[in-house]
Amino acid sequence: ETTLTQSPAFMSATPGDKVNISCKASQDIDDDMNWYQQKPGEAAIFIIQEATTLVPGIPPRFSGSGYGTDFTLTINNIESEDAAYYFCLQHDNFPLTFGQGTKLEIK
Amino acid sequence: QVQLVQSGAEVKKPGASVKVSCKASGYTFTGYYMHWVRQAPGQGLEWMGWINPNSGGTNYAQKFQGRVTMTRDTSISTAYMELSRLRSDDTAVYYCARGARITIFGTPLGWFDPWGQGTLVTVSS
């Protein structure tokens, strides 16, 4: 089973900031990493597929990087609407596994 | 648009069963795997398994084998997840999520998009 270690668990940012969220896999998963945004009571939104590809319709201030075991979600020029829970998902092998999530607060 | 709409919140007693539905719209229901995921309070997300809506074939996470049953009704584009012998630690929000496209030589491995809105299941005596 691939364990995903996501950090930080919580972070606070100011509009205009740049933030990085990390997800480290316990084994090589190539580029089979995905990132999601979720707001309370809403369905999760797909934002980055296969480590680096921005999902159509997602603002370009979101980006993803990494390969193998180390992955990063970057949000540039943060906006208040980016306050949410972010999590990573690996689809390299079963069982599919998730990071523990990051709660992003905007001051 | 592609959408998954889940059934409403449930309250169950320990030992009972719960069946959550997930109605798909905006795409060919039998063309994509459907996964189920849950999130207990204060915990991370946990994958439970998938169903192939075309064949009815399933694959469950080891943790849930023997207690979970995933089914579908293709006539109404709806997937179901039934969890039996409920315990208090089954209290969680349960999600359905569309997975990979089903192809002859393909794999069920793939990202999830979209997700349902979630169904809160509370297990309490």
Query: Distance between CA A92 and CA A101 in Å, rounded?
Result: 19
What digits encode the pLDDT tens for the residues B5-35? Answer: 999 999 999 999 999 999 999 999 999 999 9
Distances A18 to A23, A47, A86 between C-alpha atoms, Å: 17, 17, 15
What digits encode the pLDDT tens for the residues B65-124? Answer: 999 999 999 999 999 999 999 999 999 999 999 999 999 888 889 999 999 999 999 999
* Nearest to A6, CA basis, from A61, A71, A57, A52: A71
- Determine the pLDDT at residue B104: 85
- Determine the pLDDT at residue A41: 87
Whether the CB of B113 is below 8 Å from some CB of chain A: the reply is yes
Cβ-Cβ contacts under 8 Å, A55 against chain B: 113
- Determine the pLDDT at residue B105: 81
Cβ-Cβ contacts under 8 Å, A95 against chain B: 47, 61-62
Whether the CB of B120 is below 8 Å from some CB of chain A: the reply is no
Collect all residues with Cβ–Cβ distance below 8 Å to B114 and sequence separation of at least 6.
Answer: A43, A46, B2, B3, B4, B97, B98
Cβ atoms of residues A3 and A25 within 8 Å: yes
CB spacing of B47 vs A95 below 8 angstroms: yes
The distance from CA B6 to its chain's CA centroid, rounded to whole angstroms, is: 9
What digits encode the pLDDT tens for the residues A23-82? Answer: 999 999 999 999 999 998 899 999 999 999 999 999 999 999 999 999 999 999 999 999
Place B52 in a pLDDT band, splitting at 50, 70 and 90.
very high
- Determine the pLDDT at residue B106: 82
Cβ-Cβ contacts under 8 Å, A34 against chain B: 111-112
Q: How many CA atoms lie within 13 A of A48 on its CB side?
A: 28
